[in-house]
Amino acid sequence: MLITIGAMIGAGKTSLAELVANHFNSEVFYESVDNNPILPLFYTASEEEIQTKRYPFLLQLWFLNTRFKSIKEALIKDTNVLDRSIYEDWYFAKVNKDLGRISDLEFSLYEDLLNNMLEELEELPKKSPDLMIYLSGSFETILERIKKRGREYELDEALVSYYYTLWEGYDNWIKQHYKASEVLIINIDEIDYVNNEEHKQKVLSMIEQKLEEIRKEKVSL
């Protein structure tokens, strides 16, 4: 089974990915953040720098490339966990296009490249994840978690409106546009799988139950 974790920035993807991987004795394919040379520039740039240096477009290309590499590796193994996947990448690019940070031409080039990559995945024996675990929560919870992880370049007040724009449409994108796999939604306002052992076991039980449902559906096909 291949599981991907979907969520807003700061929602707790990595913590859940590691919890799930430890439980199923599998490997985590992490989102490329700490070794990403463009991400700090993206978060700290002025609007003028964003327009002239095209950091949002460069950032999306960086993530697209690293996520494509990760999902190719993950799909050829038995059980793996993706700390965000190539499917969500489009949503981030679209939001930056709507904000005017990525031009129409850049977005068109990006979409062509993404579609090309997804066609390549169709050639693999396993073509897509089995399950997306999506972390949904209030904007207040998201902001609190971003602050707790302490990456200084993420904490500038000017970024709050960007986070809000991402958050505002994320649930709808998952429910209306994501079609690659089944989805399990976890409400992070109510469930704290990092600090609460009972909640941790509850989440793992929810995941096991959903995976069992998916297995039964595949057998019946």
Domain containing residue 101: CATH number: 3.40.50.300
Structural domain that includes position 135: 2-220
Q: Model-level pTM?
A: 0.89
Query: How many domains does the chain contain in total?
Result: 1
What pLDDT, on the 0 to 100 scale, is given for residue 168? 96
Token pair recorded at residue 183: 């989805």
Does the annotation count 83 as an active-site position? Answer: yes
What pLDDT, on the 0 to 100 scale, is given for residue 154? 67
What pLDDT, on the 0 to 100 scale, is given for residue 61? 93
| Cα angle 201, 206, 209; round to 5 | 120
What pLDDT, on the 0 to 100 scale, is given for residue 15? 93
What pLDDT, on the 0 to 100 scale, is given for residue 40? 80
Q: Choose the catalytic residue: 83, 98, 104, 192.
A: 83
What pLDDT, on the 0 to 100 scale, is given for residue 221? 64
Which residue positions in the chain have pLDDT lower than 50?
none
**Measured distance between the N- and C-terminal CA atoms of the chain, rounded to whole angstroms:** 17
Q: How far apart (Å, rounded) are the C-alpha atoms in residues 136 and 181?
A: 17
What pLDDT, on the 0 to 100 scale, is given for residue 153? 64
